[in-house]
Structure formats: C-alpha cells, structure tokens
Structure 1
C-alpha cells in the first residue's frame, strides 16, 4: 500500500521552487508540520542549492527535524553494496551510473571504511561529478582518505565551487588535514555570503590566532539575521577557549530559543573544563531549555513570515501624542508625514552610505524630535565609531523617542551595555519614557530586556501595567521562557 500523501503535496513541492522567499518558507514549514517524508529529497535540494541563504538555513533545520522522524527505509529499497562488500569495480559502477542518493550513500560507505584504496577513484569522480549534492561529499572524503599532498587538489577543485555546501566542506576538509598552506586561501571566506562557509572558515583559522577569530564571530553574532547568529553560536560552542565565554553569554540572551540552546551546550562544555566564567553565565540563565523542539522552530518560522518588511519610511519609537495600542506593542508604528530630507538620510544610512554621516549628525541638532530620532536610526545603520559616538551623546536627549532609538541603535555596539540604560528608562518618572521602554523591550525580546517587565506589571500607571501584561502574554505565547516564568510567578493567564 503506498504511503499516504499530505494535503496538496504537489503544491508544496511546486512552492519550494517559487521565486518568492515567503512562499518557499511557508512550504518548508508545511512539509515539516505534515511530516511529508516524500518531500525529503526536494527539501535537501533546497537546503543545498537555493540562492537565498536564509531559505537554505530554514530548509536545513527542517531537514534535520524531518529526518529525526523518518520511518526506516523499506526492505526492498535500492542501496549500494554494504561497506564490507564494496570493490573498486562496484563502487565505480555506482559512482558513475547510480542516482544521486545512491552515489551519496556509496561515498559515505567508502568514508566509513576509511580504505585509501578508493582514493584514486574518488579523485577521478571529483573531476567528472556535476551534481552539487554529491560534489559536497567529495572534499570530505578526500580529507579523510587523503593526506597533505591532496591539499592543492581540494583548493583548486572545490574551494571556489559555486555551491556553498561544497565550499564549506572543502574548508572543513582542509582543516582536518591541518594544512597551513591552505590558510591564505581560507581567509577570504570569512567574508563569504554563506553563513556555514564563514563559520567553517573561522574554525579553520583558529590556528591563525584568537584575535581574528573572535572578531569575526563577534560580528556574526551581532547580525540581525537568525541564521547568521546560529552559525556563529555553533562555531563558538566548539571553540574551547576562555575568550568565547562573553560571546556565548550574549548568545544566551538571543531571542531565538535554538541559539540559546546551542550557547548553553557550548558553555556546559567550557564549564566541564573549568573555564572561568562559564558556570556563572549558565547560572544567570536558568530557564534555557536543553533541547530545541519542533514547536520552537515552527514558531520561529511563523515569526519570520509574519515580520513586516523594512519600509522605505523610517521606523521610529511611538510618539507621545499617539502611543501604539498594547496589542500591537511589538509592531512599529505607521510612518508619519516627516520631512523628505531626514527620510532620505535614513535611507542612505540603511544602504550603508558613509557619506551620509555628517548630514545625519547635523540633523541631530534639529528641534523636531522626529527628525532627531530618524537621524539616529540612520546613523545606527552605518555602524562605525563616529556614528556611534554621536548616538551615545543623544542618550541624554529629553525626548523618549530619541532615547529609545539611540538604545536600539547601540544594542550591537560592543563598548556600551544598553541594559542599565533601558532599566533606568523603564523606571523613568515620565510615563512616556516607560511606555517607550516597553516598546523597546518588545523589539529586543532578550532575557535582560524581558525581565524588566516583572516590575512594570506593578507600575503606578494602569496603561503601563496593561501594556506590560499584554506584552508578557504575547512573548509567553511566542515561547519566550523568561516571559513564561514571569507569567507563572504573577499568575497571569
């Protein structure tokens, strides 16, 4: 009896090829919900070959969850010969004439056997192989079966491959071979467009010195893209040096549960080695779970899908005269009719136009608080010291919207801890400042931010109490463990 198909499987498979990222992401989530194992191969293709790094990240995560629940293969399923039965002739036949899945399984069996007599065959196949899924396994096989004499082959055959998985695995193979001559080639991949390639490059370059490694991972950890932070946290979790403790501490404060779990595992490994500070960080974050659930990932996917795209108009903190309703605390307010020049300057900031720096700094002297707030947002996108120094000065501004935008812009600046300032803002004598603090907490969603709501649900202002309670419920329903803990303690239903 054939396997039952989930509803509209053909439609889901078609959607995986859609040019629209949101459609593909929705299809990935629906395949996962339906446990549609028939889509496993199509999902694997997306994970390996999609042009969008974020789509590859989501497909890879979904693939892991789907494989974990995959039923065992049918007894009649075709497979290459068992590892012990492989001969050069049978392996060559599979690698040259078998389908993609069979070729991959054959390579995996060769690697498991660790028999160098297959190396010459793998080198020959590497020159001919056109499929990127198969090609991604080849450098790892050469790295295990070969030696340093094969470094040049990996560099020139795989390191500049158009497929990101092939590049990442080539770097991993070079690291395994311990080849110092490969380091100059790997350095450039710290700037690769793919997150896994960058993470593998950082791991391989650990031998070059800790400073460059830490700087690279620090920058990745501050990126707004969840897949970027995930790769950085993975790399940090396997680098057992004291310098990673502060970075893993920041990852423990990440809005996404999966990243917090990775960071926790890394810190547990460091604590087991008695690395100073690791156990202290773990004790500061007692609510981080041990395992990421399917619900956590689906919740992340839904949040990414429902997130509003960045508009051309500036996003700002809520104005005093028209604060956002509590139910919409996490959403940016609609753009107001603001002067064209500041809006243009903010757009230049978003595009990373350094030439806009002086224009934006000049706008911070304007009397209109909306203009100053927009200028800060633009400077925040530029991410260089002169811009940050100007933003720091604005933290003493008398307008709550300006201060909120400044704190948001400074959240990724390594020399400023925004949380003491956010805490002071949340307890400000003026209600509009406390209201803006709640708005900022709704955007940050970190452990250090959300814990501030515990006091705000007892605020003297009924409006602040309602906003804080509404936000806690919203965050709890999104899976935020800190919000869940506060709701339980305060008996918020």
Structure 2
C-alpha cells in the first residue's frame, strides 16, 4: 500500500529516531514532492547522526538526481577535484584511494552480527577487522553501530573505521563526534575527517585547535598544517560562497565558533545574500548571539552588522 505524503511528513516529524528513518525511506521510494526545507532541517540539525546522514542523501537526490549506475559493480575512484582559484589548499598530493575489495555475503553478515554483539571486545574486534579487510561493504553497519555505541573505546574505533573506509558523504556522520565527551573519540574523529580531506571536513576541525585535550589539539593542528593561519579566512570565504550547500553550512558553523571580525563580516554577507533561506536565518541568528555579548568588541561589531542587514526574509 502506498504511503501518503501526510503519513511521511508525520514520520519525519516524529520524536522517534526509527520513525524518522522510516519516513526518509518512504519519501525516497515515493519520489516526491519533496519537503526540501524539512529535509534540510533534518540533515543539519537532527540529533541523530544516522538521520542527518540519510536526510542529506535524500536532499541531494531530490535536488540533483544522479544518473543510472554503470553496468559494472566496481566503484570507480573519484576524480581529483582541481582547486578553485582562491582555494588556499591547492590540489591534494595524496595518492588516489585503492579500489575497495569485494566482500562475501557471509562476511557482511558476520560484521553485522559482531557489531551488534553484547560483548564490547567483540564489537571492537569487528570494527578493527573491517578496516583490515579494506572493504566498503561494512560501512552501513559501522554507521548504524556508531549511532548506538556506548563504550568509548569501541566508539573511537568505529569513528576511525568510518573515516578509513568512507568518503566525503560520511562527514555528517563523523562531525558530531568532534564534540564527544571522550577525548579518544574526539581525537579519532579529527583524524577521520582529516583522512577524508574535503573542504567541508577540514573546516570542521578549526574549532578543535582549542580542545582541552592535547592529543586532540595536536591532531587538529597537524590536519590544518597545510593551511597557513593567514589562509584560514580565505578558505572560509571560499566555502561560504561555494555552490555546494553543505560546504556553506560547514563554513557558517566554523565562522560562528571563531567569532573573529572577518568571521562576523562573512556571517553578515551570508545573512544578506545566501540563496537558501534557512542558511540566511542561521547566519542572522549567529550574529544575534554575538551581538548579545554586550561587553565584547565582537558584540559591538555584530550589532553594527545586524543594523545594516535588510529585513529577514
């Protein structure tokens, strides 16, 4: 029986994570009309990393449908993306990733079973074995396991495994673990995002240079070593004006955290000019938070910039 759009919207708004996940699946299968604003909110603000990940994929599918896959089952390595003229990082000098090795259905079932085991040592071993196998097949199970994992050591291993096996599409899955309460998880999340290496991944690491744990700080500084301090504003400016929605959203978060004068000016530009209403609203809200800090220099600048903004739309 076909699920109605009203039922899908009800599931997407449900407080239950499983219901929201089912709503996303139903929406993709129904094919539309897509509630893009709701999908964007789920993709950027939902408390569940799994929901954010699948909402982002659904949003991208509705905005820019991908062509049918080629007949071959081998996933080609992504082409090297040349740096934009004002991108301070330049082209990557890393070797292209090796193609993923095939995995048997039995091994896939074993990973799924072991990642859900009651014994944390067994879950930890499964996460490490997935990396050693070098196959992408366990990724969905690793992502699912991470969202429910309570043991910090296993959580850290899962984060590392997803960073090793995944790609730019896993940034939204990993980014929340930069704020994990356990320093081992945060340190591995920094390394995982650095291994992915996309602009969106790297810009998430900027606030971590102030992390209270020295290992986390060191990992973040090492990841940012290719970007001179004076080039960070250029990188953020590049991302804030990028055609990719998620890069602009990541830049907005970093600008809000930094709160430097250049960051406030870029937030004001996004609040006035970003083509997506929700990002304009988020940028304005960030400026309003800084303006509320009445005793700071940043607060005065934020209030000045807010006064010059056009009315919110």
TM-score, with structure 2 as normaliser: 0.46
TM-score, with structure 1 as normaliser: 0.32
Comparing both chains, which one has the higher relative contact order based on Cα–Cα distances under 8 Å and sequence gaps of 6 or more? Answer: 2
For the pair shown, the structure with the greater C-alpha radius of gyration is: 1
